[in-house]
Amino acid sequence: MKPTEELDLKAANRLLSALHRDSLVVVTAARPGKLNGQVALTALPASIVADYPRVLIELWQNNLTHDMVRESGAFCLHLLREDQLELIRTFGFYHGQDRNKFADQSYKLGELGNPRLEDCAGWLDCRLIGQLSTEDMTVFVGEVVAARRISETEPLSWTAARQLLPKEWLDEYNSTVRKQNEDWARAKLEKK
Protein backbone atom coordinates (compact mmCIF):
# COMPACT_ATOMS: atom_id res chain seq x y z
CA MET A 1 0.00 0.00 0.00
CA LYS A 2 1.52 3.30 -1.07
CA PRO A 3 0.48 6.16 1.24
CA THR A 4 -1.03 9.24 -0.37
CA GLU A 5 -0.61 11.37 2.72
CA GLU A 6 2.37 13.69 2.38
CA LEU A 7 5.13 13.07 4.90
CA ASP A 8 6.12 16.06 7.02
CA LEU A 9 9.88 15.41 7.09
CA LYS A 10 10.52 18.23 9.57
CA ALA A 11 8.04 16.77 12.08
CA ALA A 12 9.35 13.23 11.52
CA ASN A 13 12.96 14.20 12.11
CA ARG A 14 12.15 16.33 15.17
CA LEU A 15 10.28 13.40 16.73
CA LEU A 16 13.03 10.94 15.82
CA SER A 17 15.64 13.22 17.36
CA ALA A 18 13.68 13.11 20.65
CA LEU A 19 14.07 9.31 20.87
CA HIS A 20 16.91 7.95 23.01
CA ARG A 21 17.80 4.89 25.08
CA ASP A 22 15.40 5.97 27.86
CA SER A 23 12.40 6.67 25.60
CA LEU A 24 8.96 5.61 26.74
CA VAL A 25 6.50 5.31 23.86
CA VAL A 26 3.12 3.81 23.07
CA VAL A 27 3.08 1.59 19.98
CA THR A 28 -0.30 0.95 18.35
CA ALA A 29 -1.39 -1.44 15.62
CA ALA A 30 -4.56 -2.89 14.11
CA ARG A 31 -6.02 -6.02 12.62
CA PRO A 32 -9.53 -6.37 11.21
CA GLY A 33 -11.95 -5.69 14.04
CA LYS A 34 -9.28 -5.10 16.70
CA LEU A 35 -7.09 -2.20 17.81
CA ASN A 36 -4.36 -2.50 20.40
CA GLY A 37 -1.36 -0.74 21.80
CA GLN A 38 1.40 -1.17 24.33
CA VAL A 39 4.10 0.76 26.10
CA ALA A 40 7.58 0.12 24.72
CA LEU A 41 10.87 1.14 26.25
CA THR A 42 13.03 0.69 23.17
CA ALA A 43 12.49 3.17 20.33
CA LEU A 44 15.39 4.67 18.40
CA PRO A 45 16.03 6.47 15.12
CA ALA A 46 17.16 3.93 12.50
CA SER A 47 18.35 6.06 9.60
CA ILE A 48 21.24 8.41 9.01
CA VAL A 49 19.56 9.99 5.99
CA ALA A 50 17.05 12.66 7.03
CA ASP A 51 15.01 12.25 3.82
CA TYR A 52 14.33 8.58 4.66
CA PRO A 53 13.20 8.58 8.29
CA ARG A 54 13.08 5.18 9.96
CA VAL A 55 12.52 4.02 13.51
CA LEU A 56 13.48 0.88 15.43
CA ILE A 57 11.27 -0.55 18.17
CA GLU A 58 11.55 -3.67 20.28
CA LEU A 59 8.43 -5.58 21.38
CA TRP A 60 8.09 -8.60 23.63
CA GLN A 61 6.81 -11.58 21.63
CA ASN A 62 4.07 -12.43 24.15
CA ASN A 63 2.25 -9.13 23.56
CA LEU A 64 -0.79 -8.86 21.30
CA THR A 65 0.60 -5.67 19.75
CA HIS A 66 3.69 -7.62 18.67
CA ASP A 67 1.52 -10.07 16.71
CA MET A 68 -0.57 -7.28 15.21
CA VAL A 69 2.52 -5.40 13.98
CA ARG A 70 3.87 -8.58 12.41
CA GLU A 71 0.52 -9.43 10.76
CA SER A 72 -0.38 -5.94 9.54
CA GLY A 73 3.11 -4.82 8.54
CA ALA A 74 2.57 -1.45 10.21
CA PHE A 75 2.63 0.40 13.54
CA CYS A 76 2.28 3.88 14.96
CA LEU A 77 4.70 5.12 17.62
CA HIS A 78 3.53 7.83 20.07
CA LEU A 79 5.69 10.01 22.28
CA LEU A 80 3.97 11.07 25.50
CA ARG A 81 3.96 14.22 27.63
CA GLU A 82 4.61 14.28 31.39
CA ASP A 83 0.91 14.80 32.10
CA GLN A 84 -0.05 11.53 30.39
CA LEU A 85 0.80 9.00 33.10
CA GLU A 86 -2.64 7.40 32.76
CA LEU A 87 -1.69 6.31 29.22
CA ILE A 88 1.24 4.38 30.67
CA ARG A 89 -1.20 2.49 32.87
CA THR A 90 -3.76 1.96 30.10
CA PHE A 91 -1.28 0.73 27.50
CA GLY A 92 1.41 -0.74 29.74
CA PHE A 93 -0.27 -2.56 32.62
CA TYR A 94 -2.95 -4.62 30.87
CA HIS A 95 -3.10 -7.20 28.10
CA GLY A 96 -5.10 -6.34 24.99
CA GLN A 97 -6.91 -9.69 25.22
CA ASP A 98 -8.38 -8.61 28.56
CA ARG A 99 -9.65 -5.13 27.71
CA ASN A 100 -10.23 -2.59 24.95
CA LYS A 101 -7.42 -0.12 25.55
CA PHE A 102 -9.00 2.37 23.13
CA ALA A 103 -12.40 2.53 24.87
CA ASP A 104 -11.68 5.95 26.40
CA GLN A 105 -9.09 7.24 23.93
CA SER A 106 -9.45 9.88 21.25
CA TYR A 107 -7.87 8.53 18.06
CA LYS A 108 -8.09 8.46 14.28
CA LEU A 109 -7.07 5.68 11.94
CA GLY A 110 -4.18 6.52 9.64
CA GLU A 111 -3.75 5.37 6.05
CA LEU A 112 -1.94 2.23 7.17
CA GLY A 113 -4.85 1.40 9.49
CA ASN A 114 -3.02 2.20 12.72
CA PRO A 115 -4.83 4.07 15.47
CA ARG A 116 -3.21 7.48 16.02
CA LEU A 117 -3.72 8.98 19.47
CA GLU A 118 -4.95 12.55 19.12
CA ASP A 119 -3.54 13.71 22.45
CA CYS A 120 0.20 13.07 22.82
CA ALA A 121 3.53 14.82 22.16
CA GLY A 122 3.56 13.43 18.61
CA TRP A 123 3.34 10.28 16.52
CA LEU A 124 5.18 8.47 13.74
CA ASP A 125 3.08 6.20 11.51
CA CYS A 126 5.29 3.47 10.07
CA ARG A 127 5.31 0.74 7.44
CA LEU A 128 7.26 -2.31 8.59
CA ILE A 129 10.41 -2.80 6.48
CA GLY A 130 12.40 -5.25 8.59
CA GLN A 131 12.40 -7.42 11.67
CA LEU A 132 14.77 -9.55 13.70
CA SER A 133 13.47 -12.10 16.18
CA THR A 134 15.46 -12.85 19.31
CA GLU A 135 14.60 -15.37 21.98
CA ASP A 136 11.84 -13.30 23.58
CA MET A 137 11.75 -9.99 21.70
CA THR A 138 11.42 -8.85 18.11
CA VAL A 139 13.16 -5.78 16.75
CA PHE A 140 10.95 -4.06 14.17
CA VAL A 141 12.19 -1.37 11.78
CA GLY A 142 9.61 0.94 10.29
CA GLU A 143 9.74 3.46 7.48
CA VAL A 144 7.99 6.63 8.63
CA VAL A 145 5.16 7.40 6.18
CA ALA A 146 3.38 10.09 8.23
CA ALA A 147 4.33 12.16 11.27
CA ARG A 148 2.84 14.83 13.45
CA ARG A 149 4.42 16.85 16.24
CA ILE A 150 1.53 17.89 18.50
CA SER A 151 3.32 19.36 21.53
CA GLU A 152 6.56 21.26 21.88
CA THR A 153 7.19 19.84 25.35
CA GLU A 154 10.01 17.38 25.94
CA PRO A 155 8.64 13.82 25.56
CA LEU A 156 8.35 11.71 28.70
CA SER A 157 11.24 9.34 29.45
CA TRP A 158 11.03 6.10 31.42
CA THR A 159 13.33 7.58 34.10
CA ALA A 160 11.03 10.59 34.54
CA ALA A 161 7.90 8.41 34.48
CA ARG A 162 9.23 6.21 37.30
CA GLN A 163 9.71 9.35 39.40
CA LEU A 164 6.17 10.57 38.66
CA LEU A 165 4.11 7.36 38.81
CA PRO A 166 2.31 6.65 42.09
CA LYS A 167 3.99 3.93 44.18
CA GLU A 168 0.98 1.62 43.91
CA TRP A 169 1.13 1.86 40.10
CA LEU A 170 4.83 0.96 40.12
CA ASP A 171 4.09 -1.97 42.43
CA GLU A 172 1.33 -3.11 40.04
CA TYR A 173 3.66 -2.73 37.05
CA ASN A 174 6.47 -4.68 38.74
CA SER A 175 4.03 -7.45 39.67
CA THR A 176 2.76 -7.65 36.08
CA VAL A 177 6.30 -7.79 34.67
CA ARG A 178 7.30 -10.46 37.18
CA LYS A 179 4.27 -12.59 36.21
CA GLN A 180 4.96 -12.15 32.49
CA ASN A 181 8.58 -13.22 32.98
CA GLU A 182 7.49 -16.28 34.95
CA ASP A 183 4.93 -17.19 32.26
CA TRP A 184 7.55 -16.76 29.55
CA ALA A 185 10.11 -18.91 31.42
CA ARG A 186 7.48 -21.62 32.02
CA ALA A 187 6.47 -21.63 28.32
CA LYS A 188 10.12 -21.85 27.30
CA LEU A 189 10.64 -24.88 29.55
CA GLU A 190 7.52 -26.56 28.14
CA LYS A 191 8.88 -26.19 24.59
CA LYS A 192 12.07 -28.10 25.48
What is the model's pLDDT at position 148? 95
What is the model's pLDDT at position 135? 85
Measured distance CA(84)–CA(123) in Å, rounded: 14
What is the model's pLDDT at position 150? 93
What is the model's pLDDT at position 176? 80
Measured distance CA(6)–CA(24) in Å, rounded: 26
Name the stretches of the chain with pLDDT < 70: 1-4, 192
What is the model's pLDDT at position 1? 43
What is the model's pLDDT at position 3? 52
For 135-144, what is each residue's pLDDT tens digit? 889 999 999 9
